[in-house]
Amino acid sequence: MNKIISNFLYIGSGIGLTLKLTFGGVFIGVVGGILLSILRYNGIGRSLINAIVSVLRGTPLLLQLSFVYFIAPDVIGVRLDLLSAGILAFGINSSAYIAEIVRAGIESLPRGQFEAAQTLGIPRFYMWKDIILPQVITNIFPAMVNEVIALLKETVLIAMIGGLDIMRRSQTIAAEQYEYFQPLCMAGIYYYGLVRLIESIGEKIEQRRPYAKSL
Amino acid sequence: MLKVCNARKVFNNTKVLENVHLDVAKSSILGIAGPSGSGKSTLLRCIQKLEQIDHGTIECNGRAGFMFQDFQLFPHMTVLQNLIYAPSLKDKSGKENCKKQAENILKSLGIAAKTSEYPNTLSGGQKQRVALARSLMTHPDILLCDEPTSGLDVSTTMDVVSLLKSINERFDITILIASHDLDFLVKISDRIILLKDGAIAVDIDPQKQDTPIDFLKKYY
B2-63+140-217, which class in CATH? alpha beta
pLDDT band at A210 (very low <50, low <70, confident <90, very high): low
pLDDT, tens digit (0-9, with 9 covering 90-100), for B59-95? 998 999 999 999 999 999 999 999 999 999 987 767 8
pLDDT, tens digit (0-9, with 9 covering 90-100), for A36-61? 999 999 999 999 999 999 999 999 99
pLDDT, tens digit (0-9, with 9 covering 90-100), for B183-204? 999 999 999 999 999 999 999 9
User: Is residue A212's pLDDT more than 70?
Assistant: no
Q: What pTM was estimated for this model as a whole?
A: 0.86
Task: Report pLDDT for A215.
Answer: 44
Residue A29 to chain B, least CA–CA distance (Å): 24
Q: What is the CATH number of the domain that holds A168?
A: 1.10.3720.10
- Chain B neighbours among A 100-119 (CB < 8 Å)? 110, 112-113, 115-119
Task: Report pLDDT for A211.
Answer: 62
CA distance A173 to B76: 50
Q: What is the distance between the terminal CA atoms of chain B, rounded to a whole angstrom? A: 29
Is residue A125 less than 8 Å (CB to CB) from chain B?
no
Question: What average pLDDT does the segment B46-51 reach?
Answer: 95
User: Is residue A214's pLDDT more than 50?
Assistant: no
Instruction: Report the sign of the C-alpha dihedral through residues A5, A6, A8, A13, in that order.
Output: positive
ipTM above threshold 0.85: yes
Instruction: Report the sign of the C-alpha dihedral through residues A57, A62, A65, A69, in that order.
Output: negative
- CA of residue A107 relative to chain centroid, distance: 22
Q: List CB contacts (< 8 A) between B85 and chain A.
A: 120, 122, 130
pLDDT band at A2 (very low <50, low <70, confident <90, very high): confident
Contact A161, A66 (CB under 8 A): yes
Least confident residue range of A173-182, B148-157, B188-197: B148-157
The partner residue sitting opposite A131, judged by closest CB among B66, B74, B119, is B74
Instruction: Give φ, ψ of B194 to 5 degrees.
Output: -115, 125
Helices (H), B54-211: 79-90, 95-108, 124-136, 154-170, 182-188
Structurally, how many domains does chain A consist of?
1
Best to test chain A binding among B47, B71, B72 (most A CBs inside 10 Å) = B72
* Residue A119, domain extent: 2-214
Q: What percent of chain A has pLDDT over 70?
A: 97
Q: How many CB atoms lie within 10 A of CB A140?
A: 21
| Boundaries of every domain in chain B | 2-63+140-217, 78-139
